Structure 1
Amino acid sequence: MKPLARYAALNSYVDVSRALGIEPARMMREAGLDPAGIAVQDRWIPAAAVALLLERSAAISGHQDFGLLLAERRRFANLGPLSLVIREEPDVRSALTILLRHEHMYNEALRMRMAVLNGLATVRVAFELGDQTETRQAAELALGTLHRLLRGFLGPLWQPVAVCFAHRAPADPTTHQRVFGSMLKFEQDFNGITFYEHDLDAPNKMSDPLMRTYAYQFLDSLETPKDTSALERVRELIELLLPTGRCSVEQVARSLGVDRRTVHRQLADAGETFSSLLQATRAELAANLVGNQRYTFTEITDLLSFSSPGNFSRWFRAHFACSPSQWRSRHRNSD
Structure 2
Amino acid sequence: MRPLVRTAALNGYVELSRSLDVDPRTLMKRVGLDTADLAVQDRWISGPAAVRLLELSAATSHHDDFGLRMAELRRFSNLGPISLVVREEPDVRSALSLLLRHEHMYNELLHARLSEGNGLATIKVDLRLAESGPARQATELIVGAFTRILRGFLDARWQPLSVWFAHGAPADSARHRRMFGTGLEFDREFNGIVFYADDLDAPNAMADPQLRSYARQYFDAIAATPRDTSVADRVRELIEALLPTGRCSIEQVARSLGVDRRTVHRHLTHSGETFSSLLNATRARLAEQFVASPRRSLTEISDLLGFSSLSAFSRWFHQQFGCSPREWRKEKGQEQHPGLG
2-structure distance, mates of 1:226, 1:232? 9
The whole-number CA distance in structure 2 between the counterparts of 1:88 and 1:8 is 21
Q: What is the 5 A alignment of 1:7-18?
A: 7-18=7-18
C-alpha distance in structure 2 between counterparts of 1:171 and 1:296, whole Å: 53
Partner of 2:268: 267
Q: Is the 8 A contact 1:67 1:138 kept in 2?
A: yes
The aligned counterpart of 2:215 is 215
In the TM superposition, 1:120-199 aligns within 5 A as 120-199=120-199
Partner of 1:3: 3
CA apart distance, 1:236: 3.1
Correspondence for 2:35: 35
**Equivalents in 2 of 1:69, 1:284: separation in Å?**
40
Secondary structure in 1 matching 2:316: helix
Residues paired across the two proteins, number: 325
In 2: Cα distance, 1:318 partner to 1:288 partner: 18
Is the 8 Å Cα contact of residues 239 and 281 (structure 1) preserved in structure 2?
yes
Partner of 1:113: helix, strand, or coil? strand
TM-score of the superposition, structure 2-length normalised?
Answer: 0.81
Question: Which of 298, 312, 315 is the aligned partner of 2:312?
Answer: 315
Q: Which moved more, 1:260-269 or 1:192-201?
A: 260-269
Q: What residue is the counterpart of 2:118 in the other structure? A: 118
Question: Which segment is superposed worse, 51-60 or 202-211?
Answer: 202-211
| Aligned pairs for 1:272-311 within 5 A | 272-281=273-282, 300=303, 304=306, 309=308
Cα pair 1:86 1:95 within 8 Å, conserved: yes
Aligned residue in 1 for 2:102: 102
8 Å Cα contact 1:34-1:240 kept in structure 2: no
Instruction: Tell me if structure 2 keeps the 8 A contact 1:58–1:66.
Output: yes
State the secondary structure of the residue aligned to 1:122. strand
The offset of 1:214, in angstroms, is: 1.5
Q: State the 1:240 CA deviation.
A: 5.8
1:2 Cα deviation after fit? 0.9
**Cα deviations by residue, 1:114-153 (Å, 9 ceiling, x for unpaired):** 1111111110111113222421111111111110111122
Deviations 1:189-208 (A, max 9, x none): 21100111111111223323
2:315 maps to amino acid: A
Long gaps (5+) in structure 2: 334-341
For 2:156, what is the secondary structure of its paired residue? coil
After TM superposition, the score normalised by the length of structure 1 is 0.83
Task: List gaps (5 residues or longer) in structure 1.
Answer: none
Alignment of 1:227-238 (within 5 A): 227-238=228-239
